Amino acid sequence: MAELALAATLVEKLRHKRAKIGVIGCGYVGLPLAREFCHSGFQVIGFDTDSAKVTLLNSGESYIRAVPTIELKDYLSRDLFEATADFDRLAELDAMLICVPTPLNQHREPDMSYIASTAHSIAKRLKQGQLVVLESTTYPGTTDEFLRAILESESQLKVGQDCFLAYSPERENPGDKNWRTRDIPKVVGADDDASRATVKALYENVVTQVVPVSSSRAAEASKLLENIYRCVNIALVNELKVLFERMNIDIFEVIGASKTKPFGFKAFYPGPGMGGHCIPVDPFYLSWKAREYETPTRFIELAGEVNTEMPQYVVERCILALNEDKKSVNGSKILILGVAYKENVDDVRESPALTLMKELRKLGAELSYHDSFIPQMKASRIVDLSDYSSVELSNEFVADQDLVLIVTAHSDVDYQQLGQNAKLIVDTRNAMGDFHEDAAARIVRA
């Protein structure tokens, strides 16, 4: 069949690394992925609508910690990588990987605008024999229904015959140095034999293990299951944290004891709320799609409610902690320690710190923050904090604060010293756990 011959030609180019790869969206997913293709010897073009990012990348400057600048400069010098905002160059590619954001809109429904815009850009230039792979997290059916419809209607090419389409979910874990992209098994799914063959050949060159599934929908669902699993379990321990605090039981001590069981238990930890580009967002893609099938997703909705309420719980703990010192939030100096959504990353997307700062500022607190990973805040969909920049964490500054609120426990902070200089610490991450008894500060868990 003609389509299999066309696929065989692309598979051959991929196996001999003669194919040119395009990565659309040079962010926390796209740039590490581009790195692995360059590392394997492929020529890669990174596409981004942000001209500032394009300029930085072409000058050899990486803005993502997972991609060392020294490596980027090497790939540029060997003509393995370049960045561009010129989407006409999509026509040069053999395979293009879509790594664009999939946020929620103000009604907590999927915002498909980035995927749609990218699909239209591709469709205008799509040519015979090209492979398109969606990596952005989304609801089951996006690839085969939404993306395919745009590509076929605007290009007049038939997926599976003239061109190829697949889904392979990203599995990045920013800040985790134990795993880089090539070491993480790659799930791939497509809806025709030719697309399955080409997407499998694509990733076999750059990752240690490719995990094929029967369809793009199965691959899309696998990504959602991974994140819903985490969301539900974190909601469970968040709910137990509130209960155990009222029972005067240390949730972290309980988790530490429970995880000694060698089977049937995996430790999840509570926090001040959910953050990042996955867990606060992805579960709602499935719950939204489930409405089409008139099937309630009660676990997902309940977990979302519990996790969404955690910042308010933390605010209440701050109010009560200050009240014990005969102070109100209004006029109190509060230092937010860590604003990134997780430890040791430079990503503030959906961070609970944004909601906490918004609410505490509303109550009249004099806010400041320290985070060496986030030197300057920006406007976000939650709140505009662009007038805040990270302060130096000096002993004198800490001592002058009425309350230090630990939101993100970066490893570059001396928590023992913090405990000696602060008056009052509200700890949402158990960062002070090892220093609790020796601290001069009063420490409140939240």
Predicted confidence at residue 2, as pLDDT, reads 64
Considering the domain boundaries, does residue 231 fall inside one? no
Residues 199 and 281 both lie in one domain:
no
- CA 45, 49, 55, 60 dihedral sign is negative
Q: Nearest to residue 286, comparing CAs of 139, 170, 146?
A: 139
Q: Nearest to residue 372, comparing CAs of 399, 339, 400?
A: 339
Task: Give me the CATH number covering residue 430.
Answer: 3.40.50.720
Angle at 350 between CA 343 and CA 311, to 5 degrees: 85
Residues 297 and 389 both lie in one domain:
yes
Residues 297 and 412 both lie in one domain:
yes
Contact 11, 33 (CB under 8 A): no
Burial grade of 284 (CB within 10 A; 0-12, 13-18, 19 or more): buried
Query: Which two structure tokens, joined as six digits, stand for 202?
Result: 């694509």
Residues 191 and 250 both lie in one domain:
no
List residues with catalytic annotation.
278
Burial grade of 283 (CB within 10 A; 0-12, 13-18, 19 or more): buried
Q: Which of 214, 247, 265 is the last residue of a domain?
A: 214
Residues 293 and 428 both lie in one domain:
yes
Considering the domain boundaries, does residue 224 fall inside one? no
Considering the domain boundaries, does residue 190 fall inside one? yes
Residues 263 and 366 both lie in one domain:
yes
Structural domain span for residue 147: 2-214
Predicted confidence at residue 278, as pLDDT, reads 67
Residue 134 is classified by DSSP as E
Query: Which two structure tokens, joined as six digits, stand for 137?
Result: 């997290």
Concatenated DSSP letters of 168-234:
------TT-TT--GGGS-EEEEESSHHHHHHHHHHHHTTSS-EEEES-HHHHHHHHHHHHHHHHHHH
Predicted confidence at residue 108, as pLDDT, reads 75
3-state SS, 244-296, equals HHHCCCCHHHHHHHHCCCCCCCCCCCCCCCCCCCCCCCHHHHHHHHHHHHCCC
Considering the domain boundaries, does residue 233 fall inside one? no
Predicted confidence at residue 277, as pLDDT, reads 65
Residues 152 and 61 both lie in one domain:
yes
Considering the domain boundaries, does residue 156 fall inside one? yes
Residues 308 and 423 both lie in one domain:
yes
93/37 Cα distance (integer angstroms): 14
**Over the range 217-239, which residues count as b (16 or more CB within 10 Å of their CB) and which as e?**
bebbbbbbebbbebbbebbbbbb
Cβ-proximal residues to 52 (8 Å cutoff; 6+ apart), any chain: none
Concatenated DSSP letters of 15-66:
HTT--EEEEE--STTHHHHHHHHHHTT-EEEEE-S-HHHHHHHHTT---STT
338/353 Cα distance (integer angstroms): 8
List the chain pLDDT tens, one digit each, 446 residues: 666 789 999 999 999 999 999 999 999 999 999 999 999 999 999 999 999 999 999 999 999 988 999 999 999 999 999 999 999 999 999 999 999 999 877 777 889 999 999 999 999 999 999 999 999 999 999 999 999 999 999 999 999 999 999 999 999 887 777 788 999 999 999 999 999 999 999 999 999 999 999 999 999 999 999 999 999 999 999 999 999 999 999 999 999 999 999 999 999 999 999 876 666 777 888 888 888 899 989 988 899 889 999 999 999 999 999 999 999 999 999 999 999 999 999 989 889 999 999 999 999 999 999 999 999 999 888 899 999 999 999 999 999 999 999 999 999 999 999 999 999 999 999 999 988 888 889 999 99
Residues 184 and 289 both lie in one domain:
no
Burial grade of 338 (CB within 10 A; 0-12, 13-18, 19 or more): buried
418/416 Cα distance (integer angstroms): 5
Domain count along the chain: 2
Q: Which of 181, 198, 214 is the last residue of a domain?
A: 214
Residues 324 and 208 both lie in one domain:
no
Residues 192 and 265 both lie in one domain:
no
Concatenated DSSP letters of 96-115:
EEE-----B-TTS-B--HHH
Considering the domain boundaries, does residue 225 fall inside one? no
Could you tell me the CA-to-CA distances from 361 to 29, 115, 131, 445 in Å, in that order? 33, 35, 49, 21
Q: Which of 144, 179, 214 is the last residue of a domain?
A: 214
Task: Provide φ and ψ at 176, rounded to 5°.
Answer: -95, 105
Contact 200, 261 (CB under 8 A): no
34/44 Cα distance (integer angstroms): 7
| End-to-end Cα, the chain, rounded Å | 63
98/168 Cα distance (integer angstroms): 10
Q: Nearest to residue 371, comparing CAs of 405, 426, 408, 400?
A: 408
305/135 Cα distance (integer angstroms): 27
Considering the domain boundaries, does residue 267 fall inside one? yes
Residues 327 and 403 both lie in one domain:
yes
Considering the domain boundaries, does residue 42 fall inside one? yes
Strand, coil or helix: 330: coil
